Chain A
Amino acid sequence: MSEKPVGVIGAGSFGTTVANLLAENAHVLIYARNKEQFKQMRDQRRSHDYPLHDNVRPIESLEELAAETEIIFPVVSSSGFRQMMQDLAPYLYPYHTLIHGTKGLDVSLPPGSDINDPDVVINRNNVKTMSEVILEESVVVKVGCLAGPNLAREIADDHPAATVVASRFDSVIADGQKLLRNDRFQVYGNKDLIGIELTGVLKNIIAIAAGALSGLGYGENARALLISRGMVEMIHLGRALGGNTEAFIGLAGIGDLVATCSSSLSRNFTVGYRLAKGETLDEIINSMQEVAEGVNTVRIIKKFAGHYGFRAPITEKLYQILQGKATVKEALQYLMKIPLNVDIDFL
């Protein structure tokens, strides 16, 4: 057991899973913004259908959480991440380490504008990864992220799995490994923080597409085609955003991509699946308990690619589907006709 308890911020299904994993090696404080959820955790020792490990203690205040811990795992949706950091920042010190598990991007837009406005520009100055948000909003410098094929349900059921802890600091990687590792859970380290964050972010786009193919009833050839072409698109986008190719061919890249594109447990996959079945985006989102990060990511990346003038055909077509401007079938037909015939052009 480490000397001080470890903090987890966000008690969604993944946050709860991370807290339970940590609890095998340390005392854990978990914070949920929602008061009802806090009470449920405190009184029923449950969160999102998962029982809480004995070592997990729900906590009501961010200030207390920061005061008692040196290492904190923020696992909240990307849309709430910056606000959460602003609330937390006053209680953080340079000795804190933050390892986040959020697979989305942050966009700063002028007040009152919407990402779909045609004159809103998205470039690298206003798109930030979560680690960049942490650095911007707080005095913390020891920052890391978690990424990998980590479907919450399977981890909760004690299936074997692994994750990547990425950070520029060896000590952050070592802390992450020490805290998360157990005999069913392996932890790898990577120094390319931005690259690893981006793998987790970008794979959600491909996961929606995979769900859509599945929804149309297509099989493994189609899925394999999507995964490999999706990988190429991810690498091009990832490099444009500041990651290295290497990050994408490891566990957090190809590993996570295969898992999310094959599993109906994934939220992003479900969005694609139901879109293909003819539901509208609004219907799907309204019926889901938690955010599917991929939807927002598609919008951001479509605009980002547009700004720098490079092609991201899968993302562009998904964007049209999400906007209700194309059906999944039409998009697929288009993609099959693209005169692209170079297999590997990124190495």
Chain B
Amino acid sequence: MNLKYNNRQKFDPILPDHDEWPVVKLSKNREEFIEKVTNAAFKQIKRLRPTPQALVQELETTRYKEKLRLQNDPWEVDPDDEVAFWKKVQTDLMEISGKGETGGKEDEILYRILLRYATEIAGNFKHSYYRFTRRVVTFGFARLLNASQSKMFSGLFRGERTLRDKIRIRGYTNLTRDLAKKGTIVMVPTHFSNLDSILVGWVIHELGLPPFIYGAGLNLFNMGLFAYFMNSVGAYKVDRRKKNLLYLETLKTYSNQAIQKGIHSLFFPGGTRSRSGMLEKKLKLGLLGTALDAQRSSFKKDANKKVFIVPVVLNYNFVLEAPSLIHQYLEKEGQEKYYIDSDNYTTSYKIVKFLIKFFTKPAEISVTIGHAMDLFGNYVDKEGNSIGKSGQPIDPRDYFLKNGKISRDKQRDEEYTRLLSQRIVEEFHKFNEVLPSHLVAFVAYLLLRKQFVNLDLYSFLRLPEDELCLEFATFKEGVRKVVQVLHELAHQDKILLAPEFEQPLAVIVDTGLNNLGMYHAKRPLLRNEKGEVITQDLNLLYFYHNRLVGYNLDRHV
């Protein structure tokens, strides 16, 4: 893979006329689209719950779950009429069960609920917001950046450095641009930080692509600043508190219909930020499945609209919420409690503080755009044609054929989705860029761990940090060995290396130590006055180390 950085390359917008942007078109026809989603979801629920009895039961379950949610977990963003709405549903349902004869009333209730959900989910893309946000991001941040480089306030308006120096983009950028003109792109990035969505939004713009839509956790809309960003980048709202069938089907239908309409989408297929710091190994199949459904529907309608999956790998030297993420992971209390609200992002003030820190200190973020695939994990060329393993052309339509016709087969498609998710995980590992900071964390953690092989993981992590220390020479030797193996892996296209890896070992080690989790109050790694390598927070060290798990590197330390 020749995936060199080219930070000077400018990408022209592929759709200069903003009225041509799919999201703009969508927002203009918002009402119509919501109705379409509601109708499609309605059909789907009727298919799943064909008898009036089954449907009424489902409605009861939904109402009950919603009541519990309102009691136990109310949020600021919840609309004011929420309680009244569900009260009314309750009265109407009671009326039906009292009569014994439903009289089609249940369909009306179902439609009402689905319409409410669809309206809530639907994003509210405002073009003026978008422009403003863009300006804030590029102009504001670039100013901060330049000020920091010269370390003086006078540097504030020189403007020779841009975000592109801070955020390095490499990979199949041109392929992605070509395909965005030919079909619908579904971008699937790794997920570490709440910043990811903003970062990816910026990358998308930088590549000259029109804005993508994506499902952002409703909890993010609780925070003023985030809400502003989200509303401007075409986010639709995903409420993870609502686990009922009606809501989930509406959500999937929304995504499916949008993809069919040709609107580029963004999913974080891990479903939630990686708590452990590892690359995602298991993906959520629900939203990925909607991409497959959308593709099948397009083929069935004989529209030759193709859907392309583009994996994206993000790497940070520093993840703001790392302490709480790894804490949740280790406590295992996590159990899919995505919406724990005690993140470090609770206030806009904190975010701004972080952003200023981020842009005033030298720490790059790396973004790799992976190779586009079809929904079956085959690579796609710039014409949008799927290419098999031995280079033969493949017609993706063939995967849906049974006796020569496009057929609907839920279990088959679930299996395809599972296979696709495995392919995405493979690609994540391949396009993961090793940062020196992750490397030093990996080596230091394993060397420390080796001193206490008899302890289990949890006892080890509970050790007081001042008992842990590594001789610098041992540490450096460990890094050297792993660097050697990494170069071999990179040569076999199994991983990517940051540019620092071209430099002498001492530079890699220093860069790594300097950059690793630099803004944490307690540093994961640093050197003491004797020159030894020590840690102030073993959990954090474990977190950053995890990024290189899965390559069988541990036996080389």
Contact = CB atoms under 8 A, between A and B. Distances in A.
Given A94-B376, A141-B399, A171-B402, A89 B390 contact: yes
A171 B398 contact: no
Contacts of A170: 409, 411-412
B411 A141 contact: no
Contacts of A95: 398-399, 401-402
B202 interface: no
A168 B418 CA distance: 11
B394 interface: yes
B415 A168 contact: yes
B412 A139 contact: no
B140 interface: no
B524 to A, nearest CB: 34
B550 to A, nearest CB: 16
Nearest to A139: B388
Interface in A112-152: 136, 139, 141-142
Given A89-B390, A90-B392, A169-B411, A141 B376 contact: yes
Contacts of A171: 402, 409, 411-412
B128 interface: no
Contacts of B48: none
A70 B378 CA distance: 21
A334 interface: no
A142 B419 CA distance: 11
Nearest to B416: A141
A93 B390 contact: no
B389 interface: yes
A93 B416 contact: no
B399 A94 contact: yes
B298 to A, nearest CB: 17
Nearest to B419: A141
Most buried by B among A89, A90, A93, A136: A93
Interface string B510-534: 0000000000000000000000000
Interface in B401-454: 401-403, 409, 411-412, 415-416, 419
A70 B403 CA distance: 7
Contacts of B390: 89
A4 interface: yes
Nearest to A93: B398
Contact of A94 (B389, B398, B403, B411): B398
Interface string B359-396: 00000000000000000101000000000111010111
Contact of B403 (A4, A142, A168): A4
B411 A139 contact: no
Contacts of A136: 389
Interface residues of A, number: 16
B404 to A, nearest CB: 8
Interface string A136-180: 100101100000000000000000000000001111000000000
B389 A139 contact: yes
A334 B388 CA distance: 51
A139 B403 contact: no
A3 interface: yes
Interface hub of A70, A136, A139 (most chain B Cβ within 10 A): A139
Nearest to A2: B403
Contacts of A4: 403
A190 to B, nearest CB: 14
B394 A169 contact: no
B436 to A, nearest CB: 30
B374 to A, nearest CB: 10
Contacts of A139: 378, 388-389, 392, 394
A16 to B, nearest CB: 27
Nearest to A96: B398
A247 B455 CA distance: 36
The residue in B378, B389, B415, B419 that gathers the most chain A C-beta atoms within 10 A of its C-beta is B415
Interface in A52-73: 70
A95 B397 CA distance: 9
Contacts of A70: 402-403
A50 B378 CA distance: 43
Interface in A1-31: 3-4
Contact of A3 (B389, B395, B403): B403
A136 B388 CA distance: 11
A69 B269 CA distance: 37
A93 B396 CA distance: 10
Nearest to B377: A141
Nearest to B401: A95
A180 B415 CA distance: 24
Interface string B14-38: 0000000000000000000000000
A94 B416 CA distance: 12
B403 A169 contact: no
Interface in A237-257: none
B129 to A, nearest CB: 43
Given A4-B403, A94-B376, A169 B412 contact: yes
A315 to B, nearest CB: 27
Nearest to A168: B415
B250 to A, nearest CB: 27
Contacts of B392: 90, 139
Contacts of B376: 94, 141
A313 B212 CA distance: 60
Contacts of A141: 376, 399, 416, 419
B146 to A, nearest CB: 51
A89 B415 CA distance: 22
B44 to A, nearest CB: 20
Q: Which 6 A-B pairs have the closest CB atoms?
A: A95-B401, A94-B398, A170-B411, A94-B399, A95-B398, A93-B398
Given A90-B392, A93-B394, A171-B412, 18 more contacts: A70-B403, A93-B395, A94-B394, A94-B396, A94-B399, A94-B401, A95-B401, A136-B389, A139-B389, A139-B392, A141-B376, A141-B399, A141-B416, A141-B419, A142-B412, A168-B415, A171-B402, A171-B409
8 contacts: A3-B403, A4-B403, A94-B396, A94-B401, A95-B398, A95-B399, A141-B416, A171-B411
